[in-house]
Amino acid sequence: MSDPVKLFQIQSEILQSRQQRTGHIVHAHQQMKIIHLCNSRSDLKRFKHSFIIPIDITRKRPIRFLATIDDGAGLCVIDSHIWGQWQKDFGNAIESIVGAKVGSGHILKSRGYIILHVNVEGVVCDTVFEILDSQGAFEILLGKPWLGLTRATREYDKDTLVIHVGPVKIVIPNRSPKLPLAYKNSQTIQIKPARSPDLRTPPLATNTTSNQLPPAQPINSPRPRLAPTPLKFPIARPPTSPLLDPNPTQP
Average pLDDT of the chain to the nearest whole number: 69
pLDDT, position 72? 78
pLDDT at 222 over 70: no
Share above pLDDT 90 across residues of the chain, in percent, rounded to a whole number: 7
Q: What's the pTM?
A: 0.55
Per-residue burial over 143-180, b if 16 or more Cβ lie within 10 Å, else e, is bbbbbebbebebeeeebebebeeeeeebebebebeeee
Nearest CA to 169 out of 161, 177, 179, 178 is that of 161
Q: Which CATH superfamily is domain 4-183 in?
A: Acid Proteases (2.40.70.10)
Q: How confident is the model at residue 171 (pLDDT cuts 50, 70, 90)?
A: very high
Q: How confident is the model at residue 220 (pLDDT cuts 50, 70, 90)?
A: low
Model pLDDT for residues 182-195, shown as the tens digit of each residue: 444 443 334 444 44
pLDDT, position 119? 92
* Cα–Cα distance for residue pair 127/181, rounded to 1 Å: 30
The CA–CA distances, whole Å, from 42 to 34, 80, 103 equal: 19, 19, 10
Share above pLDDT 70 across residues of the chain, in percent, rounded to a whole number: 48
Say how many C-beta atoms besides its own lie within 10 A of residue 64's C-beta. 10
pLDDT, position 95? 85
Contact yes or no for 72/37 (Cβ under 8 A): no
Q: How confident is the model at residue 237 (pLDDT cuts 50, 70, 90)?
A: low
**Domain range summary for the chain, segments of one domain joined by +:** 4-183
E strand or H helix at 82 = helix 80-85
User: Which amino acid, 5?
Assistant: V
pLDDT, position 9? 59
Return the percent helix, strand and coil in the chain, to nearest 5.
20, 30, 50
Model pLDDT for residues 151-169, shown as the tens digit of each residue: 998 888 888 899 988 888 9
Q: How confident is the model at residue 73 (pLDDT cuts 50, 70, 90)?
A: confident
Model pLDDT for residues 105-135, shown as the tens digit of each residue: 677 788 888 888 999 988 999 999 989 887 7
pLDDT, position 33? 56
